[in-house]
Amino acid sequence: METRNFGNTDIQVTPVGLGTWAIGGWMWGGTDEAQSIDTIHRAIDKGIGLVDTAPVYGFGRSEEIVGKALAGGRREQVALATKVALNWNDDHDKVWRDATAGRIEQEVEDSLRRLQTDRIDIYQVHWPDPKTPMEETAKALDNLYKAGKIRAVGVSNFTPEQMEELSRNVPLHSLQPPFNLFERDIEQEILPFCREKGIATITYGALCRGLLTGKMREDTEFTGDDLRKNDPKFQGERYRQYLNAVAELDAFARERYQKGVLALALRWLVDHPGVTTALWGARRPEQLEPVGDIEGWSLDQEAFDAIDEILGRCIQDPVGPEFMAPPSR
């Protein structure tokens, strides 16, 4: 897979990265460690050069699995990204934002230990914390950056104003926002801001919690702690609108490119101006088989316009990913 410069750093990444939220198990119905390690190995073998995780994904479980998977020489094959600034209680039933210096100083050491590494390539503030002064957060990150424990400073789910405020006290290298064919709010202000400032982007939610795989049906059931039970996209008439859009996008991709909707959704991201890396979440090795389907072709402006026409016609009641935002303290 080709590589790209990660903003204004010396880090190289691939256009597709592996997202490991589901591997952590929390809100995804549990995890299988051996299967998850095989999935990470398969991703690397297929040329994926960025692995993204976070402490809150399984309350350390995802990071531990990633660490085990990268042990034995694979660590040098990927850019490793993780996050900070969420906290939780012992029962794991409450999560809140916490970007205090103390939390950052504690969590970086926990992440380094779980990941079995001496440095984190891309360290991202998971959500902005309105209860903590931005200057405090920035200076804590700057200390880690100067100490060499992190190679790049990133944020996730930040506005341009919040990025500007943080960058007054620490170099800011990247943003991780939600972005896919169905969730496109960042096109208006955030992506143009990042392009102007030279800020790399790692977009998450490429397949919109599975909607864009083409495998969802009206009678698909979500059980246990599956977050889609609370996702408004998967409920009622709105769910039917999104399924209709998926069917039309799939037909368009097959007619035009002899590809399925999953490949179209990823190619749309890879070709989108301002996207550095699009995360692809996978839990099983076989889910990565379509990686090769996004190579060797691209979307032109006519295709982008045709996709927009399908979306505008099929989805009358769009909704974003706002339901996933954790509360402040």
Given the structure tokens 């809150």, which residue do they identify?
56
Given the structure tokens 């979440």, which residue do they identify?
281
Q: Identify the three-state secondary structure at position 281.
A: strand
Active site residues: 57
Phi then psi for 11, rounded to 5 degrees? Answer: -85, 140
- Angle ∠(199,203,206) on CA atoms, nearest 5: 160
Cα separation, 209 vs 82, whole angstroms: 20
Residue whose C-alpha is closest to residue 141's, from 157, 159, 126, 131: 126
Which residues, listed in sequence order, are joined to residue 97 by a DSSP beta bridge?
86
Structure tokens at 140: 């804590």
Which residues, listed in sequence order, are joined to residue 135 by a DSSP beta bridge?
none
Structure tokens at 317: 């009641």
Residue whose C-alpha is closest to residue 214's, from 252, 168, 163: 252
Inter-residue contact 320 to 90 (CB < 8 Å): no
